[in-house]
Structure 1
Amino acid sequence: MRTPPASEHATGAAAALVYLAVLAAFINMYLPQAILPVLGREFGVSPSTASLSVSVMILGIAVSSLVMGPLSDRIGRKPLLVGCALALTGPSLVCALAPSWPVLLAGRLVQGLFIPGLTAVGVAYIAEEFPEGRVGRLLGGYVAATVLGGLLSRVLAGLIAEAAGWRWAFVLGAANALAVGGALTRLRPSRRFVPSSALRGAYAGMLAHLRSPRLVGGFAVGFSLFFAFMAVFTYLPFYVEAPPFGFSPGEVGLVYLVYAAGVVSSPLAGALAARVGPRGVMVLGLGTALVAGGFTLLPSAPLLIAALLALCFGNFAAQSTATAFVATQAEGERAGASALYLFAYYVGGSLGAFVPGLAFARSGWGGVLLLSTAALLAGMSAAALLCRADEPVSGTQPSP
């Protein structure tokens, strides 16, 4: 039986609620990143140790992605979207009240376990609930929501830490998650959802995606681009806090306004992929980020901001294209495919948040950029060699 089309209003409302869920996830995800030097001084830890407040959460996301995707294929999308948003409130408050570094890290890890219930499940909801010809653009909006959430998280954390103390930044994250969880109760259940017969079947379907070279290529692109991105933006606060820049915590937070470039590039990437194919957009986006990274070595604040804008523009273009590529190339068990993509993506991010810290301690910002460049080259190779499609990804084709 054919599912009747939803009204434009209902479609827009459902997409907006998913975007709110993603916004809440990313606001909570990156709260510490702009204030890592502040946390380092508060708890007396080194830059690489301070970065664990980002990497342990991302590691929790990576592990949980393997559970949330198949679980939502079994029980549905809405229950997890609502439940995970509300559950995120608890560990956010633990972080706000943390009396020691291990307690804060534990709270961050638990936060990470709930994030895929908003991100991976949100992608699956969009991919199955909306007409195929609109999925690419809607996923472009999804990535734009991740950009906005990441931007607000870092900017507000820096400003709040400078004005009232870093603990209030985590209080903001808890309040946001609670409000979004309440709003998600109004989300309509997915009309096209067909539950897996059992979790075992859902996992078998998820692992079957590893037999597709195109999907494996998409997973590799996600790993590489997020490793490189986290390398740059995790250690950026330490770089710009020191001479010749000498930025304050609030000014460091404002630097993350460069994320706004992703709000522009993500939707544009979907339209461009419909014309030239997703592989070309991924290679172009990663290449743009690679070149832009080199310009951050110049000791000029305006040039630094311009380079970071270009880096964000290229990275988010590649990210939105890779997200749509995986979601639309998957045949069945789409939440499982999104979960594998996010697992690779967040493992890359977790390593990118920590490993470059060792290079930063030995070689400074140049060491961070060297590892970032290597990751971007690997991602470009994966896109060029594996992400081949006979035709543009259906989710990125223009709406009729």
Structure 2
Amino acid sequence: MHVESGRNRGFALGSVSAAFGLGGFTGPLLGGAILSATGDWRAPLVVFGGIGLVILLMVLVLVPKSVTEVGRMQIPDASSSSATTNGLRFLNRRVVCSVFVAIAGGFAIYGYLGLYPTYLREALGFTPSESGLAASMFGIGALGALVGGAIADRVDQRLLNMTGLLAIMALGVAIFGFSTPVPVQMIFSALLGAAFSGIVVTNTSTLMQRSVDVKYVGRVSGLMIAAMYIPASASGYFVTSMRDSFGWQTAGIIQLTLIPIIGLVAMAAMGKTPARTNP
């Protein structure tokens, strides 16, 4: 049972990314509806905060400790998984290479997301509602994480990551290199969400967890999140600087085409991933 659950780790993590994308799409719509109904900008924050507290209580009460790496280490038959997977330690080559993918992906995408609606309004002349609709399709594309996670359980994850990064680069050229109407931008935005959340995020997280012993799964998951979001905090400044210097088109292409090359180099340096024997 322990090993079987590990075989579906990609699909499980993909469901989390898909839920995140669904929330990213529905959250602004629900928030806008609450704001319109109440006329108070604080109301959506209170409602969303309350929902978060309810979910927290549900996790504490309903989710057994045995599903965590801490709980598994307390199970008697978990001793077989306490040895380091494939002789690899916490900070091994596969983990380090995956960290560079997370850095490149997070920096490229979150800088793009922050300024994409502004680009649509200023460069393509979209209305605010059209810009918001196109940007929200990124969340719909993230639902592809369910498929991406299932694929990650069955293929060479290094090659899958490279496919996702190349897709981001191609879509970057399509989004910023051509003047396209609203429906086309919506499709591009959804495909970018599928490439990033559906492939790169889900697959990288799964790969990192499979690259360490079960007792390090929580730690390596935290490393993945930190590597993705901490550098991303400066990505908006980078895009703005590129836009001011070179214009929207060049800035967007640099953001979504050159930055992901870091991830491609990291995956090439990783080498072929060995057969999976870890949980």
Amino acid across the alignment from 2:137: L
1:158, distance to aligned residue in structure 2 (A): 5.8
Provide the C-alpha distance between the structure 2 equivalents of 1:393 and 1:374, rounded to a whole number of angstroms.
35
Structure 2 counterpart of 1:282: 161
Provide the C-alpha distance between the structure 2 equivalents of 1:154 and 1:393, rounded to a whole number of angstroms.
42
Judged with a 3 Å threshold, the aligned counterparts in structure 2 of structure 1 residues 352 and 162 are, in CA distance, closer, same or farther, namely farther
1:394, distance to aligned residue in structure 2 (A): 5.5
Matches within 5 A, 1:54-69: none
Structure 1 counterpart of 2:106: 226
Matches within 5 A, 1:242-281: 242=122, 244-248=124-128, 250-255=129-134, 256-264=136-144, 266-281=145-160
Q: Percent same amino acid at aligned positions?
A: 20
Q: CA RMSD in A?
A: 2.7
Contact 2:3/2:278, CA 8 A, preserved across alignment: no
Contact 1:295/1:303, CA 8 A, preserved across alignment: no
Equivalent position SS for 2:260: helix
Structure 2 counterpart of 1:114: none
Contact 2:210/2:278, CA 8 A, preserved across alignment: yes
Flag structure 1 segments of 5+ consecutive residues without an equivalent.
6-127, 196-207, 396-400
Give yes or no for the alignment of 1:137 onto 2:11: yes
Equivalent position SS for 1:141: helix
Aligned length: 254
Contact 1:231/1:372, CA 8 A, preserved across alignment: no
Point out 4+ residue stretches in structure 1 off by more than 6 angstroms: none
Contact 2:123/2:248, CA 8 A, preserved across alignment: no
Within the candidate set 166, 189, 207, 1:325 is matched to 207
1:131, distance to aligned residue in structure 2 (A): 2.4
TM-score, normalised on structure 2?
A: 0.79
Judged with a 3 Å threshold, the aligned counterparts in structure 2 of structure 1 residues 299 and 168 are, in CA distance, closer, same or farther, namely farther
Structure 2 counterpart of 1:337: 220
Equivalent position SS for 1:209: coil
Contact 1:155/1:254, CA 8 A, preserved across alignment: no
Amino acid across the alignment from 1:288: A
Judged with a 3 Å threshold, the aligned counterparts in structure 2 of structure 1 residues 386 and 154 are, in CA distance, closer, same or farther, namely farther
1:393, distance to aligned residue in structure 2 (A): 7.6
Amino acid across the alignment from 2:51: N
Within the candidate set 179, 182, 186, 2:61 is matched to 186
Structure 2 counterpart of 1:22: none
Q: Relative contact order, CA 8 A, sep 6+: which one is greater?
A: 2
Measured against aligned partners, the alpha-carbon deviations of 1:270-320 in whole angstroms (never above 9, x if no partner) come to: 332344310111000111111011111222222222221221121121111
Structure 2 counterpart of 1:8: none
Matches within 5 A, 1:1-400: 131-157=5-31, 164=39, 166-191=41-66, 192-194=71-73, 209-210=90-91, 212-242=92-122, 244-248=124-128, 250-255=129-134, 256-264=136-144, 266-297=145-176, 298-300=178-180, 301-316=182-197, 317-331=199-213, 332-366=215-249, 367-386=251-270, 388-391=272-275
Amino acid across the alignment from 1:354: Y
Amino acid across the alignment from 2:274: D
Amino acid across the alignment from 1:368: G
